[in-house]
Structure 1
Amino acid sequence: MLIRAVLIDVGGPILDEDHEYVAWDSFLLDFLKREGIQVEGEELARLIASATKRCEPNPRAAALWELCRPDVARFRRLRDAFREFRCRHLYVPRLRCGAREALEELAARYTLALAGNQPIRIKRYLAEAGVLDLFRWQLVSEEMGVEKPDTLFFRMILDGLGVSPKDAVMVGDRLDHDVVPARLLGMRAVRVLVGPYAEQVPCSVLHRPDRAIGALEELPAVLDGGLLG
């Protein structure tokens, strides 16, 4: 198999977002209490983890529904407040240990593409961290006008690179957002077992990646060694 392009998710494989999730959940706990819904942090964490494990596209929205069902109006109020918080909450990105070195090694042999649901501002941090210029495709979802898991997101990247799906690999931490759409298009998929989405359990054949790795540093050896089958 000839690999020409490697599409890499930003949050998870490249950036550690765990501290952002902590901020999200702290906001949700406070807002739930203001809504008169008394829930302990452990219970909210359990609901989110359960939704994540079963590959819910929006684990926190699923958890909110569990806490306020069948009240649709209240659910929408909670969900909209959470969305607003996410838009105005600016977290400080953290490059994962070893990510820069892995990307430099990959860029020397493959065409790299950012493949993340991210705001445009994240690119400033990637540039400051010295990794943005390693990618030929540098557009993120906010610029593209489409998000994962829409397969159009991936087709736009592949068309922009002039690469066929069979000659590309998608690398990400989420089965639902990264692995499934990549496999639907005929791409190979590598799952990076980092962050909360490492707990996702494949719920169909399409959710099964061609390979799973523990960190981005393992990817060069997997690709160079022909270990994708």
Structure 2
Amino acid sequence: MSTPWFVFDVGGVLVDETRSWQGWAGELGVTYDALWDALCEDIRAGHSHRHTMQRLAPGRDIMAIRRARLALDAPLEHDLYPDVRPAFAALRARGVRIGIAGNQPLEAAPALEALSLGAEFIATSAGWGVQKPHPRFFEEVLKACGAEPHDITYVGDRVDNDVVPALAAGMRAAYVPRGLWAGMGASPVPALSALTEL
């Protein structure tokens, strides 16, 4: 019997991004609540979070701000959701292999490695040169696991970026709707309230 894999997205799944969004609000000169409301409004309208930031700070170089914030926004221990370590420990105890792969900058990988979560691999979209939901991202997940698609469950917080493309790649998908994209779109798989439900 083949060994199952669970591969986890980062933001909204392992990492609560509140601290990062608070930092962005400060950079853009708006309140956290104003930024959050604008992000949710734009996401529902089909726009990206970069669109929101540019809309809130016209004329500002959003990419320059992002580059300056890379180290500040790297995941820290207190950014982890409280169910992450218990879920990982329970999965490993059952013989499940764990990977981490998400749309993240290169700087996120060493920060995640420093958290010693026990993942067998940690990968970023920047390192792979492709972002979700592009099918090639999920091809990279397959390569990193060295497993058949049906032996891999991709765990994400977004229907459009995580659940749908993982299923299209032949993988299983788990949906944890929390964070900014929670509840944005109807999921073809049941929603989990915590990673410990895995």
Q: TM-score, structure 1 length as denominator?
A: 0.72
Partner of 1:102: 87
* Shift in Å, 1:99: 0.8
Say which of 157, 164, 175 aligns to 1:180.
164
Task: Show CA shifts across 1:114-139 (max 9, x none).
Answer: 111122332333233221xx222222
Matching of residues 5-154 of structure 1 within 5 Å: 5-29=5-29, 44-54=35-45, 56=46, 58-62=48-52, 64=54, 77-78=59-60, 81-89=61-69, 90-91=72-73, 93=75, 94-108=79-93, 109-131=95-117, 134-154=118-138
How many positions carry a matched residue from both structures?
191
Compute the RMSD of aligned alpha carbons: 2.6
Task: Show CA shifts across 1:124-169 (max 9, x none).
Answer: 33233221xx222222222211111111011112023222222211
Does the CA contact (< 8 Å) of 1:3 and 1:168 recur in 2? no
Task: Show CA shifts across 1:19-42 (max 9, x none).
Answer: 111222332346xxxxxxxxx876
Identity of aligned residues (%): 31
Say which of 173, 187, 190 aligns to 1:189.
173
CA separation of 1:103/1:44 partners in 2, compared to 1, >3 Å: closer, same or farther?
Answer: closer
Supply the distance in 2 between the matched residues of 1:130 and 1:43 (Cα, whole angstroms).
Answer: 35
Supply the distance in 1 between the matched residues of 2:190 and 2:133 (Cα, whole angstroms).
Answer: 19
Gaps of 5+ in 1: 31-39, 69-73, 203-207, 220-229
Gaps of 5+ in 2: none
SS at match of 2:102: coil
Runs of 4+ in structure 1 displaced over 6 angstroms? Answer: none
Q: TM-score, structure 2 length as denominator?
A: 0.82
* Shift in Å, 1:47: 2.9
Larger radius of gyration: 1
